[in-house]
Amino acid sequence: MKGFFVIIDLVLYSLMLFKYKTKIRLFRYIQKAVFIHFIFFSAHLFALKTDSIAIVLNSNLSDSLKIINALRLIDQSEIKEKTQANLYYSLLEAYVIKKNKPKLLAHIYSNWAEYYKNNHADYSKALIYTNKRIKIIEKLRDSSELITAYTYLGAHIYADMELIDETLLALRKSITYARPNTMGQVWSYYYLGWMEFNMQKYDSALVHLKFAFDIGDKIEPRKNLVEFIGWVGNAYAGIRDYKRAIAFRKEALKLCEENHYEFGIADCKRYLGQFYYCIAQYDSAIYYADYAFNYMKNDPANKGQETLIYTGNTLIMSCIKTNNLALGDKYVKEMTDTRLTPCRYGTAARVSLTKMFAAFYEAKGDNTKTVYYLKDYIRSVDSADMSAQSLLVSEQLLKGNFEKEQQDQLMEQQKKDIETEELHNRQNLIIIAAIIVLVLVSLLLFLSYKSGKQKKASLLEIGKQKQEIEYQKEVVEEKNKEIIESINYAKRLQEAILPPLDFIKQKLPESFIYYQPKDIVAGDFYWLEEADGKIFIAAADSTGHGVPGALVSIVCSNALNRSVKEFNLTDPGSILDKTRELVLETFSKSDSNVKDGMDISMACIDFVGSGSNYVHLTWAGANNPLWYINKNAEGNDQLIEIKGDKQSIGLTDNPRNFTTHQVNLQKGDSIFLFTDGFADQFGGTKGKKFKYKPLQELLIFNQYRSFSEQNALLSDTFTNWKGNLEQVDDVCIIGVRF
């Protein structure tokens, strides 16, 4: 029978090579079907050689199918020799380069990198071909492929090479290419959080894992998010918030049970056992860990064997804590089964196992086995100092056991005395409690009778008061409605001083404005004017917020307009000097000493000639700085800060002229003008300020996104950071790319 199929295969193969150019379309379909049959069902007749690859490349299939089938042939052959594998991959590389198919070339480099990593643990070669793949898809601007490539680079190459900084940088780069509210963004944040967790950076791991889950929860059914939910729970355990850790792991467990995911059920119960152990709920720890232990012990896929020791550790230590040594003895016997001997595991697992056995037999009072496992523990640790320390522990432990035996009888007697005294105290407490209850019942009956008489008299008074309260409520609601309407009208007036966004986009196409007032009206405002072919733009923070801040912002905005339009000033420092003079002149008309004013970051943009690659920027600031991003001499991105003068626009002790700074920028550079509202917002897991350094990192990591995406990311970041806390100040951030 086997010979028959061999003949059939050879006939079909001959048909495929038959080059008679028939006009019957059906024959062409048969040719393709025969070729596919040859590839997938006749591989056992031919060893994988260069001519096999050539046959695939000379077939009538599309280029994509040719490369996919050729890579499948290489993969199925399980080539171990590097020279042979390089020959095959080089043939595919040359073919695709000739055909000018960059996307297929990136696919080949991906497989080539995996070959070196998986078959030879040659991370240097894997890194070379992964970087080649990234260069191609960066030119193609394929964001989904860039997410996958940078995730693989970080989580599977740099992580295995223990290059921590490079790992985190690659994973953060994958985030920059992820579109908001997509699974690409979800997986990018998940891998970053997962790696940070393994590096014991639990705070940042929690932020990124929780962010991944929150986004995924909006776009995917909960049953597909079991892994995310579980790892958020692990991150909460990392910061010792075991209440939330248990809640998230239980939700993951429920989803696993509903979908009959057996390994997931065991894995969730393993972690729940550990969490309950950490909060000293040892019975619950045993309940969950026992299920996981039995599953992992008998798991046919052997997926849980590596964690079996740590699950057993939870069980045995819980038995020690609850003094259930009989149950603990059962787990110890199962852990010492020849199939589960410590020699099967690495040093860390062996150290944990032998240390656990020593503690268990110490609790049982079995000195012989305690010393045996202590010696085994000593052999498992690395260094003579640790060995000496372990021997000292052993001697102290034996001495402690001898003293313990002498004290046991004394403690037993003391225990009986305490129990007798407690019983006597409980009896006294019962008698006292009964007397108190009788007194309280009598008092309640008396008060009930007295209050009944007073209740009738009070009902009439309450009715009158209710009518008065309802009347006052109506008055307050009417007044409140009038106030809100007045504030909304004030908002429309304030919006009139703000430049329209269409006008800003017309003058600065690559720009965004993230503007988030604390109340209906704001003290923060943004400002733009054009004069003498130059564009003036500013982000300003007036004193206060709400209605008072809005009134001050109108005075300050008017002073800026007059400085440019009426006094024809173009130097930012001179504009701020004149603005301060005009603001003080306005407030000087009041009898009271008004100290209101504003902090501001103002830039003058001068595009140097039509089509030039350079932009001349002059800038001045009152308390607020300027940030700009350009490339340094090595070609790397850098964020540079220019600090403003430490004085505000308003009444100031020892006022000085504002300084004008000159900055030469190139096309592609970005500037950011902002107020302090974003950095001063309280939030996060610890309710602390966001601060300026994370804001800088956020802008640098996302600088290659479009400004509409950056605006949305700033909004999401601010909302997620603030959470349920109150917004503390107005927020205004302006970004411009040249």
Asked whether residue 238 is assigned to any structural domain, the reply reads no
Is the model's pLDDT at 29 over the cut of 60? no
Long-range contacts, stretch 288-293, CB < 8 angstroms, 24+ apart = 289/314, 289/315, 289/318, 290/315, 291/265, 291/266, 292/266, 292/267, 293/331, 293/334
Whether residue 503 sits in one domain with residue 466: no
Is the model's pLDDT at 423 over the cut of 70? yes
Q: Which of 288-302, 439-453, 639-653 has the highest mean pLDDT?
A: 639-653
Are 555 and 586 in contact by the 8 Å Cβ rule? The answer is yes
| CA-closest candidate to residue 236, choices 287, 272, 191, 284 | 272
DSSP assignment of 368-436: HHHHHHHHHHHHHS-SHHHHHHHHHHHHHHHHHHHHHHHHHHHHHHHHHHHHHHHHHHHHHHHHHHHHH
Asked whether residue 700 is assigned to any structural domain, the reply reads yes
Whether residue 465 sits in one domain with residue 585: no
CA 391 – CA 375 distance, rounded (Å) = 8
Q: Give per-residue burial for 112-126: e unless 16+ CB within 10 Å, then b.
A: bbbbbbeeeeebebb
- Give the pLDDT of residue 176: 84
Taking the model in full, what pTM does it have? 0.44
CA 726 – CA 723 distance, rounded (Å) = 8
The distance in angstroms from the start CA to the end CA of the chain is 74
Residue written as token pair 């193969």: 13
Longest Cα–Cα distance in the chain: 114
- Give the pLDDT of residue 45: 33
Average pLDDT of the chain, as a whole number: 81
Full strand arrangement of the beta sheet holding 614-622: 524-531, 534-542, 598-607, 614-622, 661-666
Whether residue 698 sits in one domain with residue 570: yes
pLDDT tens digits for range 651-708: 888 899 999 999 999 988 999 999 999 999 999 999 999 999 999 999 998 988 899 9
Range with the lowest mean pLDDT among 148-162, 262-276, 389-403, 579-593?
389-403
What average pLDDT score do residues 458-469 get?
Answer: 81
pLDDT tens digits for range 241-256: 999 999 999 999 999 9
**Predicted confidence band of residue 528 (pLDDT cuts 50, 70, 90):** very high
pLDDT tens digits for range 101-136: 898 898 899 989 988 888 888 888 899 999 999 999
Asked whether residue 732 is assigned to any structural domain, the reply reads yes
- Give the pLDDT of residue 5: 38
Is the model's pLDDT at 260 over the cut of 50? yes
Is the model's pLDDT at 736 over the cut of 80? yes
What average pLDDT score do residues 542-558 get?
Answer: 85
Residue 410 burial by Cβ neighbours in a 10 Å radius (0-12, 13-18, 19+): exposed
Pick from 496, 515, 545: which residue ends a domain? 496
Q: Which of 13-22, 135-144, 344-353 has the highest mean pLDDT?
A: 135-144
Whether residue 603 sits in one domain with residue 464: no
Q: Which two tokens stand for residue 180?
A: 């908001």
CA 709 – CA 718 distance, rounded (Å) = 14
Are 528 and 536 in contact by the 8 Å Cβ rule? The answer is yes
- Give the pLDDT of residue 415: 64
Whether residue 505 sits in one domain with residue 484: no
Whether residue 582 sits in one domain with residue 484: no
Whether residue 620 sits in one domain with residue 474: no
Q: What is the DSSP letter of 508?
A: -
Whether residue 696 sits in one domain with residue 579: yes
CA 197 – CA 234 distance, rounded (Å) = 9
| 3-state DSSP assignment of residue 31 | helix
pLDDT tens digits for range 484-509: 777 777 788 778 889 998 999 999 99
What average pLDDT score do residues 711-720 get?
Answer: 93
What is the number of domains present in the chain? 2
Q: Which two tokens stand for residue 211?
A: 């962010």
Is the model's pLDDT at 719 over the cut of 90? yes
Whether residue 539 sits in one domain with residue 464: no
pLDDT tens digits for range 190-211: 888 888 888 888 998 899 999 9
- Give the pLDDT of residue 648: 94
Is the model's pLDDT at 383 over the cut of 70? no
Which residues span the domain enclosing 465? 460-496
Whether residue 660 sits in one domain with residue 533: yes
- What is the share, in percent, of the chain residues with pLDDT greater than 70? 83
- Give the pLDDT of residue 344: 46
**Predicted confidence band of residue 337 (pLDDT cuts 50, 70, 90):** low
Whether residue 651 sits in one domain with residue 628: yes
- Give the pLDDT of residue 199: 85
- Give the pLDDT of residue 188: 84
Asked whether residue 384 is assigned to any structural domain, the reply reads no
| 3-state DSSP assignment of residue 632 | coil
Asked whether residue 592 is assigned to any structural domain, the reply reads yes
Whether residue 575 sits in one domain with residue 490: no
CA 235 – CA 242 distance, rounded (Å) = 10
Pick from 496, 514, 549: which residue ends a domain? 496
CA distances to 15, 22, 34, 37 from 12, in Å: 5, 17, 6, 8
pLDDT tens digits for range 589-644: 765 666 788 999 999 999 876 557 889 999 999 999 999 999 888 888 899 999 99
- For residue 602, what is the domain's CATH number? 3.60.40.10
Q: Which two tokens stand for residue 496?
A: 């009139």
Asked whether residue 82 is assigned to any structural domain, the reply reads no
Asked whether residue 645 is assigned to any structural domain, the reply reads yes
Is the model's pLDDT at 424 over the cut of 80? no
**Predicted confidence band of residue 469 (pLDDT cuts 50, 70, 90):** confident
- Residue with the bigger pLDDT between 642 and 444: it is 642
Is the model's pLDDT at 519 over the cut of 80? yes
Asked whether residue 8 is assigned to any structural domain, the reply reads no
- What is the share, in percent, of the chain residues with pLDDT greater than 90? 36
Range with the lowest mean pLDDT among 58-62, 130-134, 248-252, 455-459?
455-459
List 631's β-bridge partners, or say none: 637
**Predicted confidence band of residue 343 (pLDDT cuts 50, 70, 90):** very low
Cα dihedral: 608, 610, 611, 612 (round 10): -20
Cβ count near 493 (within 10 Å): 12
Are 361 and 355 in contact by the 8 Å Cβ rule? The answer is no
| 3-state DSSP assignment of residue 683 | strand
Q: Which two tokens stand for residue 10?
A: 């050879």
